[in-house]
Chains A and B, each alone.
Chain A
Amino acid sequence: MIPAIIVCAYLALVLYIGIFAFRRGGAGTAEEYFLAGRSLGPAVFLLSLFGTNMTAFTILGSAGHAFGNGIVTFSLMASASAFVIPLTLFFMGTRMWALGKRHGFMTPVQMFRDRWECGHIGTAIFAVQAALLVPYIVIGVMGGGTALRGISGGLVPFWLGGAIVAMVVMSYVFFGGMRGTAFVNTFQTVLFLTFGAIALVVIGRGMGGFPAAIESLLASPATAPLLTRERISPWYYFSYTFIPLSTIAFPHIAIFCLTARRMVQFKRTVIFYPLCILAIWLPCVFLGVAANSLRDVPQIGQKLEARASLAALPASAPAEERAALRRQSAGDDVVLVMLDRFAPLWLAGILGAGIMAAVMASDSQILALSTMFTEDVFAFYGGKVRFGEQVQVQTGRLFVVLLTILAYAIALRAPQGIFDLAVQYAFSGYAALSPLLVAALFWKRSTKWGALAVTLWVAVAVIYTSQVPGALAWYGLLPVVPMTVISSILMVAVSLATPPPSPDTVRRYAL
Protein backbone atom coordinates (compact mmCIF):
# COMPACT_ATOMS: atom_id res chain seq x y z
CA MET A 1 0.00 0.00 0.00
CA ILE A 2 2.86 2.41 0.85
CA PRO A 3 4.40 2.14 -2.65
CA ALA A 4 1.00 2.82 -4.18
CA ILE A 5 0.63 5.95 -2.02
CA ILE A 6 4.09 7.19 -3.02
CA VAL A 7 3.27 6.61 -6.67
CA CYS A 8 0.02 8.56 -6.27
CA ALA A 9 1.98 11.43 -4.68
CA TYR A 10 4.37 11.26 -7.62
CA LEU A 11 1.50 11.44 -10.10
CA ALA A 12 0.19 14.53 -8.27
CA LEU A 13 3.66 16.11 -8.51
CA VAL A 14 3.79 15.41 -12.23
CA LEU A 15 0.41 17.08 -12.65
CA TYR A 16 1.67 20.10 -10.75
CA ILE A 17 4.77 20.41 -12.94
CA GLY A 18 2.71 20.17 -16.11
CA ILE A 19 0.21 22.79 -15.01
CA PHE A 20 2.86 25.03 -13.45
CA ALA A 21 4.78 25.06 -16.71
CA PHE A 22 1.58 25.99 -18.50
CA ARG A 23 1.10 29.03 -16.27
CA ARG A 24 4.62 30.20 -16.99
CA GLY A 25 4.19 29.52 -20.69
CA GLY A 26 3.06 32.98 -21.69
CA ALA A 27 0.92 33.67 -24.72
CA GLY A 28 -1.54 30.99 -25.80
CA THR A 29 -0.41 30.80 -29.41
CA ALA A 30 -0.23 27.55 -31.34
CA GLU A 31 3.56 27.77 -31.53
CA GLU A 32 3.78 28.19 -27.76
CA TYR A 33 1.34 25.37 -26.97
CA PHE A 34 2.62 22.85 -29.52
CA LEU A 35 6.35 23.74 -29.71
CA ALA A 36 7.04 25.56 -26.43
CA GLY A 37 7.77 28.63 -28.54
CA ARG A 38 10.87 26.91 -30.03
CA SER A 39 12.69 27.92 -26.88
CA LEU A 40 13.77 24.82 -24.92
CA GLY A 41 17.20 25.06 -23.32
CA PRO A 42 20.02 22.49 -23.59
CA ALA A 43 19.38 20.39 -20.46
CA VAL A 44 15.63 20.18 -20.98
CA PHE A 45 16.16 19.38 -24.67
CA LEU A 46 18.48 16.43 -23.95
CA LEU A 47 16.63 14.97 -20.98
CA SER A 48 13.20 15.47 -22.44
CA LEU A 49 14.14 14.02 -25.82
CA PHE A 50 15.59 10.98 -24.12
CA GLY A 51 12.59 10.73 -21.79
CA THR A 52 10.28 10.89 -24.78
CA ASN A 53 11.96 7.79 -26.16
CA MET A 54 12.01 6.02 -22.80
CA THR A 55 8.64 4.34 -22.79
CA ALA A 56 6.85 1.50 -21.10
CA PHE A 57 8.54 -0.61 -23.72
CA THR A 58 12.00 0.50 -22.53
CA ILE A 59 11.51 -0.47 -18.92
CA LEU A 60 8.87 -3.16 -18.72
CA GLY A 61 9.08 -4.46 -22.28
CA SER A 62 12.87 -4.69 -22.33
CA ALA A 63 13.08 -6.46 -18.97
CA GLY A 64 10.27 -8.76 -20.06
CA HIS A 65 11.96 -9.50 -23.37
CA ALA A 66 15.28 -10.11 -21.59
CA PHE A 67 13.53 -12.44 -19.15
CA GLY A 68 12.46 -14.65 -22.05
CA ASN A 69 15.27 -14.09 -24.54
CA GLY A 70 18.35 -13.14 -22.55
CA ILE A 71 21.11 -10.58 -23.02
CA VAL A 72 20.47 -10.32 -26.74
CA THR A 73 17.74 -7.79 -25.90
CA PHE A 74 20.38 -5.15 -25.14
CA SER A 75 22.23 -5.41 -28.43
CA LEU A 76 19.05 -5.86 -30.47
CA MET A 77 17.45 -2.66 -29.34
CA ALA A 78 19.63 -0.62 -27.00
CA SER A 79 23.09 -0.56 -28.55
CA ALA A 80 21.61 -0.49 -32.05
CA SER A 81 19.57 2.56 -30.99
CA ALA A 82 22.63 4.09 -29.32
CA PHE A 83 24.31 4.04 -32.72
CA VAL A 84 21.48 4.92 -35.09
CA ILE A 85 19.47 7.52 -33.14
CA PRO A 86 22.29 10.03 -32.43
CA LEU A 87 23.43 9.76 -36.05
CA THR A 88 19.95 10.48 -37.38
CA LEU A 89 19.62 13.40 -34.96
CA PHE A 90 23.00 14.70 -36.10
CA PHE A 91 22.33 14.47 -39.82
CA MET A 92 18.54 14.86 -40.06
CA GLY A 93 17.42 16.48 -36.79
CA THR A 94 19.67 19.49 -37.28
CA ARG A 95 18.43 20.01 -40.85
CA MET A 96 14.83 19.78 -39.76
CA TRP A 97 15.49 22.29 -37.02
CA ALA A 98 17.09 24.71 -39.51
CA LEU A 99 14.28 24.34 -42.04
CA GLY A 100 11.64 24.64 -39.32
CA LYS A 101 13.21 27.87 -38.16
CA ARG A 102 13.49 29.14 -41.73
CA HIS A 103 10.01 28.25 -42.96
CA GLY A 104 8.06 28.15 -39.71
CA PHE A 105 6.63 24.65 -40.01
CA MET A 106 5.55 22.73 -36.92
CA THR A 107 5.05 19.21 -38.27
CA PRO A 108 6.84 16.96 -40.78
CA VAL A 109 3.75 16.94 -43.02
CA GLN A 110 3.88 20.73 -43.32
CA MET A 111 7.45 20.37 -44.53
CA PHE A 112 6.51 17.59 -46.97
CA ARG A 113 3.64 19.63 -48.41
CA ASP A 114 5.84 22.64 -48.96
CA ARG A 115 8.89 20.71 -50.11
CA TRP A 116 6.98 18.62 -52.66
CA GLU A 117 4.29 21.16 -53.55
CA CYS A 118 1.38 18.94 -52.59
CA GLY A 119 -1.77 19.06 -50.48
CA HIS A 120 -3.79 15.87 -50.26
CA ILE A 121 -0.69 13.66 -50.49
CA GLY A 122 0.34 15.33 -47.26
CA THR A 123 -3.02 14.34 -45.81
CA ALA A 124 -2.34 10.72 -46.83
CA ILE A 125 1.03 10.86 -45.05
CA PHE A 126 -0.71 12.32 -41.98
CA ALA A 127 -3.25 9.49 -41.99
CA VAL A 128 -0.60 6.77 -42.11
CA GLN A 129 1.57 8.48 -39.49
CA ALA A 130 -1.42 8.92 -37.17
CA ALA A 131 -2.56 5.31 -37.58
CA LEU A 132 0.94 4.07 -36.77
CA LEU A 133 1.29 6.31 -33.72
CA VAL A 134 -1.85 5.09 -31.96
CA PRO A 135 -0.38 1.66 -31.01
CA TYR A 136 2.60 3.44 -29.51
CA ILE A 137 0.24 5.47 -27.34
CA VAL A 138 -1.64 2.32 -26.42
CA ILE A 139 1.48 0.66 -25.00
CA GLY A 140 1.84 3.62 -22.64
CA VAL A 141 -1.62 3.00 -21.22
CA MET A 142 -1.02 -0.76 -21.08
CA GLY A 143 2.29 -0.17 -19.30
CA GLY A 144 0.54 2.11 -16.80
CA GLY A 145 -2.01 -0.57 -16.01
CA THR A 146 0.66 -3.25 -15.63
CA ALA A 147 2.91 -1.04 -13.49
CA LEU A 148 0.22 0.19 -11.09
CA ARG A 149 -1.15 -3.34 -10.69
CA GLY A 150 2.34 -4.61 -9.85
CA ILE A 151 3.25 -1.73 -7.52
CA SER A 152 0.01 -2.04 -5.56
CA GLY A 153 0.36 -5.81 -5.26
CA GLY A 154 -2.78 -6.32 -7.34
CA LEU A 155 -4.86 -3.85 -5.32
CA VAL A 156 -5.22 -1.56 -8.34
CA PRO A 157 -6.56 -3.65 -11.25
CA PHE A 158 -5.17 -3.26 -14.77
CA TRP A 159 -8.17 -1.31 -16.04
CA LEU A 160 -8.00 1.19 -13.17
CA GLY A 161 -4.21 1.61 -13.37
CA GLY A 162 -4.44 2.29 -17.10
CA ALA A 163 -7.26 4.77 -16.49
CA ILE A 164 -5.30 6.66 -13.81
CA VAL A 165 -2.19 6.94 -15.97
CA ALA A 166 -4.24 7.99 -18.99
CA MET A 167 -6.02 10.67 -16.96
CA VAL A 168 -2.81 12.12 -15.51
CA VAL A 169 -1.04 12.20 -18.88
CA MET A 170 -4.08 13.69 -20.58
CA SER A 171 -4.36 16.42 -17.95
CA TYR A 172 -0.83 17.77 -18.12
CA VAL A 173 -0.70 17.54 -21.89
CA PHE A 174 -4.06 19.34 -22.03
CA PHE A 175 -2.96 22.17 -19.76
CA GLY A 176 0.79 22.29 -20.30
CA GLY A 177 1.22 21.55 -24.01
CA MET A 178 4.81 21.01 -25.19
CA ARG A 179 6.38 23.06 -22.40
CA GLY A 180 4.58 21.13 -19.67
CA THR A 181 5.30 17.82 -21.39
CA ALA A 182 8.99 18.66 -21.81
CA PHE A 183 9.44 19.63 -18.15
CA VAL A 184 7.59 16.52 -16.96
CA ASN A 185 9.76 14.35 -19.22
CA THR A 186 12.90 16.03 -17.89
CA PHE A 187 11.84 15.42 -14.29
CA GLN A 188 10.96 11.82 -15.08
CA THR A 189 14.29 11.12 -16.80
CA VAL A 190 16.28 12.54 -13.89
CA LEU A 191 14.19 10.51 -11.46
CA PHE A 192 14.70 7.29 -13.33
CA LEU A 193 18.42 7.80 -13.93
CA THR A 194 18.89 8.47 -10.21
CA PHE A 195 16.81 5.70 -8.74
CA GLY A 196 17.45 3.10 -11.44
CA ALA A 197 21.01 2.73 -10.17
CA ILE A 198 19.75 2.36 -6.58
CA ALA A 199 17.31 -0.34 -7.73
CA LEU A 200 20.14 -2.31 -9.28
CA VAL A 201 22.19 -2.26 -6.09
CA VAL A 202 19.26 -3.06 -3.78
CA ILE A 203 17.95 -5.93 -5.90
CA GLY A 204 21.48 -7.28 -6.36
CA ARG A 205 22.00 -7.40 -2.60
CA GLY A 206 18.59 -8.95 -2.07
CA MET A 207 19.38 -11.71 -4.54
CA GLY A 208 22.57 -12.54 -2.69
CA GLY A 209 24.80 -10.87 -5.25
CA PHE A 210 24.65 -10.93 -9.03
CA PRO A 211 27.67 -13.28 -9.47
CA ALA A 212 25.80 -16.06 -7.65
CA ALA A 213 22.66 -15.43 -9.72
CA ILE A 214 24.55 -15.53 -13.00
CA GLU A 215 26.48 -18.66 -12.03
CA SER A 216 23.19 -20.39 -11.21
CA LEU A 217 21.87 -19.48 -14.65
CA LEU A 218 25.02 -20.80 -16.31
CA ALA A 219 24.72 -24.06 -14.38
CA SER A 220 21.32 -24.88 -15.89
CA PRO A 221 21.06 -25.96 -19.56
CA ALA A 222 17.64 -24.31 -19.70
CA THR A 223 18.91 -20.85 -18.73
CA ALA A 224 22.59 -20.78 -19.80
CA PRO A 225 21.70 -19.78 -23.41
CA LEU A 226 20.08 -16.62 -22.03
CA LEU A 227 23.60 -15.32 -21.37
CA THR A 228 24.65 -15.75 -25.00
CA ARG A 229 23.03 -15.08 -28.38
CA GLU A 230 23.14 -18.66 -29.63
CA ARG A 231 19.35 -18.86 -30.00
CA ILE A 232 19.21 -16.04 -32.52
CA SER A 233 20.43 -15.96 -36.11
CA PRO A 234 22.94 -13.29 -37.16
CA TRP A 235 20.61 -12.16 -39.99
CA TYR A 236 17.70 -11.66 -37.65
CA TYR A 237 20.03 -9.79 -35.31
CA PHE A 238 21.31 -7.61 -38.15
CA SER A 239 17.80 -6.69 -39.21
CA TYR A 240 17.14 -5.13 -35.82
CA THR A 241 19.53 -2.30 -36.68
CA PHE A 242 16.84 -1.04 -39.08
CA ILE A 243 14.29 -0.55 -36.29
CA PRO A 244 15.87 2.59 -34.73
CA LEU A 245 15.46 4.35 -38.08
CA SER A 246 11.89 4.72 -36.90
CA THR A 247 12.88 7.18 -34.19
CA ILE A 248 13.57 10.22 -36.35
CA ALA A 249 10.50 9.38 -38.45
CA PHE A 250 8.22 9.31 -35.40
CA PRO A 251 6.32 12.62 -35.52
CA HIS A 252 6.84 13.29 -31.80
CA ILE A 253 10.62 13.12 -32.25
CA ALA A 254 10.63 15.09 -35.49
CA ILE A 255 8.41 17.74 -33.89
CA PHE A 256 10.58 17.77 -30.78
CA CYS A 257 13.61 18.59 -32.94
CA LEU A 258 11.88 21.90 -33.70
CA THR A 259 11.66 22.95 -30.06
CA ALA A 260 15.36 23.66 -29.50
CA ARG A 261 16.23 27.31 -28.97
CA ARG A 262 19.56 26.92 -30.79
CA MET A 263 20.98 24.18 -32.98
CA VAL A 264 24.02 23.81 -30.75
CA GLN A 265 21.71 22.01 -28.28
CA PHE A 266 21.85 18.98 -30.53
CA LYS A 267 25.56 18.64 -29.72
CA ARG A 268 25.18 17.53 -26.10
CA THR A 269 22.15 15.47 -27.01
CA VAL A 270 23.92 13.32 -29.60
CA ILE A 271 26.97 12.86 -27.36
CA PHE A 272 25.09 11.91 -24.20
CA TYR A 273 22.26 9.97 -25.80
CA PRO A 274 24.23 6.67 -26.08
CA LEU A 275 25.31 7.02 -22.45
CA CYS A 276 21.73 7.58 -21.32
CA ILE A 277 20.70 4.46 -23.21
CA LEU A 278 23.48 2.53 -21.49
CA ALA A 279 22.44 3.82 -18.06
CA ILE A 280 18.78 2.87 -18.49
CA TRP A 281 18.79 -0.24 -20.65
CA LEU A 282 21.70 -2.18 -19.19
CA PRO A 283 20.15 -2.44 -15.69
CA CYS A 284 16.72 -3.27 -17.13
CA VAL A 285 18.03 -6.00 -19.40
CA PHE A 286 20.35 -7.40 -16.77
CA LEU A 287 17.60 -7.51 -14.14
CA GLY A 288 15.26 -9.18 -16.63
CA VAL A 289 17.84 -11.90 -17.29
CA ALA A 290 18.79 -12.30 -13.61
CA ALA A 291 15.11 -12.77 -12.71
CA ASN A 292 15.37 -16.25 -14.21
CA SER A 293 17.42 -17.31 -11.18
CA LEU A 294 14.56 -16.51 -8.80
CA ARG A 295 12.86 -19.87 -9.14
CA ASP A 296 11.67 -19.76 -5.53
CA VAL A 297 9.68 -16.55 -6.06
CA PRO A 298 6.14 -17.84 -6.78
CA GLN A 299 5.24 -15.34 -9.56
CA ILE A 300 8.51 -16.00 -11.39
CA GLY A 301 8.39 -19.74 -10.75
CA GLN A 302 4.98 -19.86 -12.44
CA LYS A 303 6.35 -18.00 -15.45
CA LEU A 304 9.26 -20.43 -15.75
CA GLU A 305 6.89 -23.39 -15.53
CA ALA A 306 4.69 -21.88 -18.23
CA ARG A 307 7.75 -21.35 -20.41
CA ALA A 308 8.82 -24.98 -19.95
CA SER A 309 5.29 -26.17 -20.79
CA LEU A 310 5.28 -23.98 -23.88
CA ALA A 311 8.58 -25.44 -25.05
CA ALA A 312 7.26 -28.99 -24.53
CA LEU A 313 3.99 -28.31 -26.33
CA PRO A 314 3.53 -30.42 -29.49
CA ALA A 315 3.17 -28.56 -32.77
CA SER A 316 -0.41 -29.79 -33.04
CA ALA A 317 -1.46 -28.08 -29.78
CA PRO A 318 -4.36 -25.62 -30.06
CA ALA A 319 -3.39 -22.00 -30.69
CA GLU A 320 -5.41 -20.88 -27.66
CA GLU A 321 -3.38 -23.10 -25.34
CA ARG A 322 -0.15 -21.79 -26.84
CA ALA A 323 -1.30 -18.18 -26.46
CA ALA A 324 -2.35 -18.77 -22.85
CA LEU A 325 1.04 -20.24 -21.96
CA ARG A 326 2.78 -17.39 -23.74
CA ARG A 327 0.79 -14.90 -21.67
CA GLN A 328 1.62 -16.74 -18.44
CA SER A 329 5.32 -16.85 -19.27
CA ALA A 330 5.54 -13.16 -20.30
CA GLY A 331 7.96 -11.21 -18.13
CA ASP A 332 6.69 -7.63 -18.45
CA ASP A 333 6.26 -7.39 -14.68
CA VAL A 334 9.47 -9.12 -13.48
CA VAL A 335 11.17 -5.88 -12.43
CA LEU A 336 8.11 -5.00 -10.36
CA VAL A 337 8.11 -8.47 -8.79
CA MET A 338 11.79 -8.05 -7.90
CA LEU A 339 11.18 -4.62 -6.38
CA ASP A 340 8.30 -6.03 -4.37
CA ARG A 341 10.48 -8.86 -3.12
CA PHE A 342 13.79 -7.10 -2.39
CA ALA A 343 13.30 -3.35 -1.95
CA PRO A 344 12.05 -1.77 1.29
CA LEU A 345 8.55 -0.39 0.91
CA TRP A 346 9.50 3.27 0.69
CA LEU A 347 12.17 2.57 -1.92
CA ALA A 348 9.85 0.30 -3.89
CA GLY A 349 7.42 3.23 -3.96
CA ILE A 350 10.03 5.68 -5.29
CA LEU A 351 11.30 3.15 -7.79
CA GLY A 352 7.75 2.39 -8.78
CA ALA A 353 7.34 6.10 -9.43
CA GLY A 354 10.47 5.91 -11.58
CA ILE A 355 8.91 3.12 -13.57
CA MET A 356 5.73 5.15 -13.88
CA ALA A 357 7.92 7.94 -15.24
CA ALA A 358 8.99 5.76 -18.11
CA VAL A 359 5.55 4.33 -18.62
CA MET A 360 4.04 7.78 -19.01
CA ALA A 361 6.16 8.71 -22.03
CA SER A 362 3.05 8.45 -24.20
CA ASP A 363 2.49 12.16 -23.43
CA SER A 364 4.70 13.26 -26.30
CA GLN A 365 2.93 11.02 -28.78
CA ILE A 366 -0.46 12.30 -27.71
CA LEU A 367 0.70 15.90 -28.03
CA ALA A 368 2.33 15.17 -31.41
CA LEU A 369 -0.87 13.69 -32.80
CA SER A 370 -2.78 16.69 -31.52
CA THR A 371 -0.26 19.03 -33.16
CA MET A 372 -0.50 17.10 -36.42
CA PHE A 373 -4.29 17.12 -36.40
CA THR A 374 -4.62 20.82 -35.74
CA GLU A 375 -1.84 21.88 -38.13
CA ASP A 376 -2.06 19.28 -40.90
CA VAL A 377 -5.83 18.91 -41.02
CA PHE A 378 -7.64 21.67 -39.08
CA ALA A 379 -5.43 24.56 -40.18
CA PHE A 380 -4.66 23.17 -43.64
CA TYR A 381 -8.34 22.84 -44.53
CA GLY A 382 -9.14 26.37 -43.45
CA GLY A 383 -10.09 25.97 -39.78
CA LYS A 384 -7.50 28.40 -38.51
CA VAL A 385 -8.42 31.10 -41.04
CA ARG A 386 -12.13 30.67 -40.28
CA PHE A 387 -12.06 30.31 -36.49
CA GLY A 388 -8.73 31.80 -35.39
CA GLU A 389 -5.68 30.52 -33.53
CA GLN A 390 -7.37 30.32 -30.12
CA VAL A 391 -9.94 27.85 -31.47
CA GLN A 392 -7.10 25.92 -33.11
CA VAL A 393 -5.41 25.44 -29.73
CA GLN A 394 -8.72 24.45 -28.09
CA THR A 395 -9.29 21.96 -30.91
CA GLY A 396 -5.87 20.50 -30.17
CA ARG A 397 -6.86 20.10 -26.51
CA LEU A 398 -10.14 18.42 -27.42
CA PHE A 399 -8.20 16.07 -29.68
CA VAL A 400 -5.93 15.17 -26.73
CA VAL A 401 -8.99 14.10 -24.71
CA LEU A 402 -10.55 12.04 -27.50
CA LEU A 403 -7.28 10.36 -28.37
CA THR A 404 -6.61 9.38 -24.77
CA ILE A 405 -10.05 7.81 -24.45
CA LEU A 406 -9.50 5.88 -27.69
CA ALA A 407 -6.07 4.63 -26.58
CA TYR A 408 -7.50 3.50 -23.26
CA ALA A 409 -10.34 1.61 -24.92
CA ILE A 410 -7.88 -0.18 -27.20
CA ALA A 411 -5.52 -0.96 -24.30
CA LEU A 412 -8.31 -2.79 -22.48
CA ARG A 413 -8.84 -5.08 -25.47
CA ALA A 414 -5.31 -5.42 -26.87
CA PRO A 415 -4.29 -9.07 -26.89
CA GLN A 416 -0.53 -8.83 -27.38
CA GLY A 417 2.46 -8.11 -25.16
CA ILE A 418 3.92 -4.63 -25.05
CA PHE A 419 6.98 -5.56 -27.04
CA ASP A 420 5.25 -7.33 -29.93
CA LEU A 421 2.67 -4.63 -30.36
CA ALA A 422 5.26 -1.87 -30.53
CA VAL A 423 7.62 -3.62 -32.90
CA GLN A 424 5.10 -5.10 -35.26
CA TYR A 425 3.20 -1.97 -36.09
CA ALA A 426 4.76 1.30 -35.03
CA PHE A 427 8.49 0.68 -35.21
CA SER A 428 8.51 -1.21 -38.50
CA GLY A 429 6.10 1.21 -40.14
CA TYR A 430 8.00 4.31 -39.12
CA ALA A 431 11.35 2.82 -40.08
CA ALA A 432 9.91 2.18 -43.53
CA LEU A 433 8.70 5.81 -43.64
CA SER A 434 12.20 7.16 -42.91
CA PRO A 435 13.10 7.40 -46.65
CA LEU A 436 10.52 10.19 -46.83
CA LEU A 437 12.59 12.33 -44.48
CA VAL A 438 15.89 11.43 -46.10
CA ALA A 439 14.53 12.34 -49.53
CA ALA A 440 12.93 15.59 -48.36
CA LEU A 441 16.09 16.73 -46.59
CA PHE A 442 18.83 15.53 -48.91
CA TRP A 443 17.54 14.71 -52.41
CA LYS A 444 16.57 17.62 -54.63
CA ARG A 445 15.09 15.36 -57.31
CA SER A 446 12.56 13.71 -54.97
CA THR A 447 8.88 14.24 -55.82
CA LYS A 448 5.46 14.08 -54.24
CA TRP A 449 4.62 10.97 -56.28
CA GLY A 450 7.62 9.20 -54.83
CA ALA A 451 6.40 10.23 -51.39
CA LEU A 452 2.91 8.93 -52.14
CA ALA A 453 4.29 5.60 -53.38
CA VAL A 454 6.27 5.17 -50.14
CA THR A 455 3.26 6.08 -48.00
CA LEU A 456 0.91 3.67 -49.75
CA TRP A 457 3.50 0.90 -49.66
CA VAL A 458 4.03 1.32 -45.92
CA ALA A 459 0.27 1.28 -45.29
CA VAL A 460 -0.18 -1.90 -47.31
CA ALA A 461 2.91 -3.57 -45.83
CA VAL A 462 1.89 -2.86 -42.23
CA ILE A 463 -1.62 -4.22 -42.80
CA TYR A 464 -0.22 -7.24 -44.64
CA THR A 465 2.39 -8.10 -42.00
CA SER A 466 -0.10 -7.67 -39.16
CA GLN A 467 -2.60 -10.00 -40.83
CA VAL A 468 -0.31 -12.68 -42.26
CA PRO A 469 2.12 -14.25 -39.77
CA GLY A 470 5.63 -14.49 -41.20
CA ALA A 471 4.87 -12.13 -44.09
CA LEU A 472 7.89 -10.31 -45.56
CA ALA A 473 10.21 -12.16 -43.17
CA TRP A 474 12.49 -13.00 -46.10
CA TYR A 475 15.67 -15.01 -45.50
CA GLY A 476 15.12 -14.86 -41.75
CA LEU A 477 15.12 -11.07 -41.69
CA LEU A 478 12.55 -8.98 -39.86
CA PRO A 479 9.88 -7.51 -42.16
CA VAL A 480 11.28 -4.05 -41.39
CA VAL A 481 14.25 -4.72 -43.72
CA PRO A 482 12.33 -5.43 -46.94
CA MET A 483 9.80 -2.77 -46.00
CA THR A 484 12.51 -0.10 -45.69
CA VAL A 485 14.48 -1.25 -48.75
CA ILE A 486 11.36 -1.32 -50.94
CA SER A 487 10.37 2.12 -49.61
CA SER A 488 13.75 3.49 -50.65
CA ILE A 489 13.55 1.90 -54.10
CA LEU A 490 10.03 3.27 -54.62
CA MET A 491 11.11 6.76 -53.58
CA VAL A 492 13.95 6.77 -56.12
CA ALA A 493 12.19 5.02 -59.00
CA VAL A 494 8.90 6.92 -58.82
CA SER A 495 10.65 10.27 -58.27
CA LEU A 496 12.84 9.79 -61.32
CA ALA A 497 9.77 8.91 -63.39
CA THR A 498 7.79 12.00 -62.37
CA PRO A 499 8.40 15.77 -62.73
CA PRO A 500 10.41 17.42 -59.93
CA PRO A 501 9.18 20.37 -57.83
CA SER A 502 9.78 23.88 -59.18
CA PRO A 503 13.36 25.23 -59.05
CA ASP A 504 12.21 27.92 -56.61
CA THR A 505 11.01 25.33 -54.10
CA VAL A 506 14.15 23.24 -54.50
CA ARG A 507 16.25 26.36 -53.93
CA ARG A 508 14.38 27.23 -50.75
CA TYR A 509 15.19 23.80 -49.34
CA ALA A 510 18.87 23.86 -50.27
CA LEU A 511 21.01 23.83 -47.12
Chain B
Amino acid sequence: MNRLLLAAVVTALYLLHQDVWFWREARPLVFGFLPVGLAYHGLYCVAVSLLMWTLTRIAWPAHLESSPEDGTRDVRR
Protein backbone atom coordinates (compact mmCIF):
# COMPACT_ATOMS: atom_id res chain seq x y z
CA MET B 1 0.00 0.00 0.00
CA ASN B 2 2.78 2.35 0.99
CA ARG B 3 4.65 1.54 -2.21
CA LEU B 4 1.61 2.21 -4.37
CA LEU B 5 0.98 5.48 -2.61
CA LEU B 6 4.60 6.56 -3.02
CA ALA B 7 4.57 5.61 -6.69
CA ALA B 8 1.43 7.70 -7.12
CA VAL B 9 3.04 10.68 -5.38
CA VAL B 10 6.18 10.40 -7.51
CA THR B 11 4.07 10.22 -10.67
CA ALA B 12 1.96 13.18 -9.56
CA LEU B 13 5.04 15.28 -8.92
CA TYR B 14 6.40 14.39 -12.34
CA LEU B 15 3.12 15.52 -13.92
CA LEU B 16 3.17 18.73 -11.88
CA HIS B 17 6.36 19.67 -13.67
CA GLN B 18 4.28 20.18 -16.81
CA ASP B 19 2.53 23.27 -15.42
CA VAL B 20 0.58 24.44 -18.44
CA TRP B 21 -1.53 26.69 -16.20
CA PHE B 22 1.29 29.28 -15.91
CA TRP B 23 2.41 28.93 -19.51
CA ARG B 24 1.55 32.43 -20.77
CA GLU B 25 1.47 34.31 -17.47
CA ALA B 26 4.26 36.37 -15.97
CA ARG B 27 2.10 37.94 -13.27
CA PRO B 28 1.66 37.91 -10.37
CA LEU B 29 5.28 38.72 -9.66
CA VAL B 30 6.21 36.89 -6.45
CA PHE B 31 8.12 39.21 -4.06
CA GLY B 32 7.58 41.90 -6.67
CA PHE B 33 10.09 40.53 -9.17
CA LEU B 34 9.85 36.74 -9.64
CA PRO B 35 7.57 35.76 -12.54
CA VAL B 36 5.01 33.27 -11.28
CA GLY B 37 6.25 30.50 -13.60
CA LEU B 38 9.75 30.79 -12.17
CA ALA B 39 8.54 30.97 -8.56
CA TYR B 40 6.40 27.85 -9.15
CA HIS B 41 9.42 25.85 -10.24
CA GLY B 42 11.44 27.16 -7.30
CA LEU B 43 8.75 25.78 -5.00
CA TYR B 44 8.70 22.62 -7.07
CA CYS B 45 12.34 21.99 -6.11
CA VAL B 46 11.39 22.31 -2.44
CA ALA B 47 8.53 19.84 -2.96
CA VAL B 48 10.93 17.35 -4.55
CA SER B 49 13.23 17.68 -1.56
CA LEU B 50 10.31 16.85 0.74
CA LEU B 51 9.43 13.87 -1.44
CA MET B 52 13.00 12.58 -1.20
CA TRP B 53 12.95 13.03 2.56
CA THR B 54 9.77 10.94 2.66
CA LEU B 55 11.28 8.27 0.44
CA THR B 56 14.35 7.98 2.65
CA ARG B 57 12.09 7.62 5.70
CA ILE B 58 9.62 5.11 4.27
CA ALA B 59 11.28 3.31 1.38
CA TRP B 60 15.01 3.34 2.16
CA PRO B 61 16.60 0.14 0.73
CA ALA B 62 18.44 -0.68 3.97
CA HIS B 63 18.92 -4.30 2.89
CA LEU B 64 21.50 -3.16 0.32
CA GLU B 65 23.91 -2.13 3.05
CA SER B 66 24.43 -5.64 4.40
CA SER B 67 26.95 -7.76 2.48
CA PRO B 68 25.82 -11.23 1.46
CA GLU B 69 27.61 -14.19 2.94
CA ASP B 70 28.22 -15.77 -0.45
CA GLY B 71 28.48 -14.68 -4.05
CA THR B 72 31.15 -12.05 -3.36
CA ARG B 73 34.08 -11.82 -5.76
CA ASP B 74 36.37 -9.24 -7.24
CA VAL B 75 35.46 -8.64 -10.87
CA ARG B 76 38.55 -6.50 -11.51
CA ARG B 77 41.46 -8.07 -13.31
Contact = CB atoms under 8 A, between A and B. Distances in A.
Interface of A: 71-72, 74-75, 78-80, 82-83, 86-87, 90, 94-95, 97-98, 101-106, 110-111, 113-114, 209-211, 213-214, 218, 224, 227-230, 234, 237-238, 241, 262-264, 267, 270-275, 277-278, 282, 285-286, 375, 379-380, 382, 384-385, 507-508, 511
Given A74-B42, A90-B56, A211-B32, 8 more contacts: A75-B19, A94-B61, A102-B68, A114-B75, A213-B33, A229-B37, A272-B49, A286-B34
Interface string B25-57: 111010011110110011011101100110110
Contact of A274 (B25, B27, B46, B67): B46
A104 to B, nearest CB: 4
A395 to B, nearest CB: 14
26 contacts: A74-B42, A79-B42, A79-B45, A83-B44, A94-B64, A102-B67, A102-B68, A103-B74, A105-B75, A106-B76, A110-B75, A110-B76, A210-B32, A214-B29, A224-B26, A227-B38, A238-B18, A270-B52, A270-B55, A271-B53, A271-B56, A274-B49, A278-B42, A278-B46, A380-B77, A511-B64
Contacts of A382: 77
Contacts of A97: 64
Contacts of B34: 286
A95 B76 contact: no
Contacts of B37: 71-72, 75, 227-229
A97 B68 CA distance: 14
Given A83-B17, A230-B23, A270 B76 contact: no
Contact of A375 (B22, B52, B76): B76
A90 B54 CA distance: 12
A71 B35 contact: yes
Contacts of B23: 228-230, 234
A278 B45 contact: yes
Given A104-B76, A286-B38, A379-B77, A79 B26 contact: no
Nearest to A204: B33
B20 interface: yes
Contact of B75 (A104, A211, A262): A104
A213 B29 CA distance: 12
B3 interface: no
Interface in B53-74: 53, 55-56, 60-61, 63-65, 67-68, 71-74
B46 A80 contact: no
Nearest to B72: A102
Interface of B: 10, 13-14, 17-20, 22-27, 29, 32-35, 37-38, 41-42, 44-46, 48-49, 52-53, 55-56, 60-61, 63-65, 67-68, 71-77
Contacts of A511: 61, 63-64
A228 B35 contact: yes
A274 B48 contact: yes
A263 B64 contact: yes
Nearest to A281: B45
B73 to A, nearest CB: 6
A263 B56 CA distance: 12
A214 B30 CA distance: 11
B50 to A, nearest CB: 9
A228 B26 contact: yes
A282 B52 CA distance: 20
A249 B58 CA distance: 26
Contacts of A227: 26, 35, 37-38
A508 B71 contact: yes
Nearest to B23: A229
B18 A74 contact: no
Given A272-B49, A278-B42, A228 B75 contact: no
B33 A87 contact: no
A101 B68 CA distance: 11
Contacts of B19: 75
Contact of A95 (B13, B27, B64, B74): B64
B77 to A, nearest CB: 5
A375 B75 CA distance: 11
A71 B38 contact: yes
A445 to B, nearest CB: 19
Given A74-B41, A103-B72, A228-B35, A82 B64 contact: no
A75 B41 contact: yes
Given A102-B67, A241-B14, A230 B24 contact: yes
